[in-house]
Structure 1
């Protein structure tokens, strides 16, 4: 949904009804993640994409049907084999589960507020009920940056459970499915909700105002990080040298890190390769709950750094978190190539990926995320998308 927040906000602001089709489950490889949406308004205007190819046409038709009927949400499952993947329009070999629902902005006033927060860059979460009692499916709940809960399922117990799940995912900064309820003592309704999250930008902390830092700052900003460059030397740590940084700080690196806010999405990149800065900084960084800690330097520098860190009490478990020498082995030499090497490693760490060439592996490119309980209460129908009809036509099962 958040991939088309700008358009949805303009439609909601104009009280313009639309049908919203959202990917609520992915099995195998798929080009776009869970939470991606397509919307169609009463004039037939479509925005967004969930796959490309013929699936888009089928989803568009379902949106028009739901929009015309203004009725209950429809669930559609698109499955295919390797042989008919091209006919369906998705060549990745996976499966998509899509929820299509009618949205009347006048009956969902808080949706406009949620989309406003998203468009203006404020943290927000929209929880969408995708499975459960029929009267609750399609219901939405909005959690703002302060933790306030707005709208949601019709029962107080369900609102409480969905709100708690949405708040937790907002704090974690990720869009995901959550299973709630099913307990007679707290919330008897068993619900599966898809929580669309816009979190604050993750942080990249670059220590060392060097040429490599300038290139890394540009790359980090391209990836959506809020980038800080920190160095104790005021002659080097200037905004003029780092125009792509969100902030440039003159301070001792360990002192700045000790006083700033970090989380498990934060990337700490130490480019100073000077023991005066590195050792106290890495000693602290490796004890913090950050997502990535990398340090630049040769293998000889790395060995000496490890020795010094052990001397100051850094444990073997903490040392195992250190990515040093920093970056993936790309043969990088220039600052720009090195920035690509470092950011590639950060991406691999964040996604728990190997960093190895895809051409040398097997299996799906995108790791499947199992979703407990998906598929309950699915109504089925078939769309023949493979050809003009007859035995060669391949069915896409929708429910």
Structure 2
């Protein structure tokens, strides 16, 4: 539900009762990932989506029912169900959906409200909710926040009201999910051990947006900034030339830095989700920048230039000690082969390559291909998960 935190946080601030349906697990070609949510308030207003349109109507009614009876429910929708076509899930996938009422006075509301407020403000937070287990525990929540200590440490609030060790164990596991910015399910016993009756817990992580750093304040960079923002990145433009690196030229950038690219990269924070796009195609900028970039633990490093520029640049990088293994990380010439010519088309090809690298896509046309449409879905456990009251 943290994917619609801003809207739901406003509902909490307005004192609205609502129910939220969250995708817990998916299989096959289901269109939404775990954590995707649809919420319905007491007036029937709906926000979000759990299936891209396939089963929204049926889930909407489940939310209305949860608001009335105050009970959490877990339902599965799948192509093999007798009523698959009736509810509209014709994509061949399976989705398990947890519906939880969040009404004023409900035990779970303060925990969920705190999680929504943190996510809406851009803070890092993880919300853990019990999906399967004893009926009185299903839907209960625990909130985890990072601490200033060592990586993996986390503070939590709320709890499941069962064994205290369960709260501590789930908080530790959720802290690891939060460190990775990951949403998914974990299996754990009722008393927090690896033995005994199992519980399934959904952990939703909300972390600040990943960074895209665009080096080179050129026309192509302006288009790439727009694509980066559309894809959800926090975008920085860096160029050593103050006449080009201006707010007037890049009004949609989150940050504009006038500095030599490699010196800025040395001092700025990057992580495993950061993407670096080098559009300068000028050796005096590219070589020291890429020498550093290819040794950083970032998600993507791409560099613009012709085939000839690419070969010359690689030779220069080898001369300054860049290894073949490091060179293999470089996406150059940058982008997928779309036949792009304009800045906007080129930015689209770069954005497409970044998505393919992130999601494990091949970049080939889906028409006639036999590859999965969704490459990083979470598998649904074997056996049907039924409703729980």
What's the offset of the Cα at 1:151? 0.8
The 5 A counterparts of 1:1-399 are: 1-51=1-51, 55-71=55-71, 73-81=72-80, 86-106=85-105, 107=107, 108-146=109-147, 147-154=154-161, 155-181=163-189, 190-362=198-370, 364-367=372-375, 369-371=377-379, 373=381, 375=383, 378-379=385-386
Q: For residue 59 of structure 1, give the secondary structure of its aligned residue in structure 2.
A: helix
1:245 and 1:375, CA in 2 relative to 1: closer, same or farther beyond 3 A?
Answer: same
What's the offset of the Cα at 1:320? 1.0
**TM, length-normalised to structure 2:** 0.88
User: In angstroms, what is the RMSD of aligned CA positions?
Assistant: 2.7
What's the offset of the Cα at 1:299? 0.9
The C-alpha deviation readout for 1:205-250, integer Å capped at 9, x for no partner, is: 1111212111111211121111111112222222222222111111
Instruction: Give the whole-Å Cα distance in 2 for the aligned partners of 1:343 and 1:138.
Output: 37
The C-alpha deviation readout for 1:162-209, integer Å capped at 9, x for no partner, is: 212222222222322233458876886643222222211111111112
The C-alpha deviation readout for 1:145-169, integer Å capped at 9, x for no partner, is: 5443111222322212221222222
Instruction: Give the whole-Å Cα distance in 2 for the aligned partners of 1:44 and 1:164.
Output: 37
1:4 and 1:210, CA in 2 relative to 1: closer, same or farther beyond 3 A?
Answer: closer
What's the offset of the Cα at 1:278? 1.0
The C-alpha deviation readout for 1:13-61, integer Å capped at 9, x for no partner, is: 3544433222111111122222122233444444333236673332233
1:44 and 1:333, CA in 2 relative to 1: closer, same or farther beyond 3 A?
Answer: closer
Conservation of the 8 A alpha-carbon contact between 1:157 and 1:186 = no
Instruction: Give the whole-Å Cα distance in 1 for the aligned partners of 2:233 and 2:192.
Output: 43
What's the offset of the Cα at 1:305? 1.4
Listed as ranges, the gaps of 5+ residues in structure 1 are 381-397
**TM, length-normalised to structure 1:** 0.86
Instruction: Give the whole-Å Cα distance in 1 for the aligned partners of 2:104 and 2:383.
Output: 28
Number of aligned pairs?
380
What's the offset of the Cα at 1:267? 0.6
Conservation of the 8 A alpha-carbon contact between 2:31 and 2:51 = yes
The C-alpha deviation readout for 1:288-346, integer Å capped at 9, x for no partner, is: 11000001111111111112212222222211110000000111111111111111101
Instruction: Give the whole-Å Cα distance in 2 for the aligned partners of 1:21 and 1:368.
Output: 21
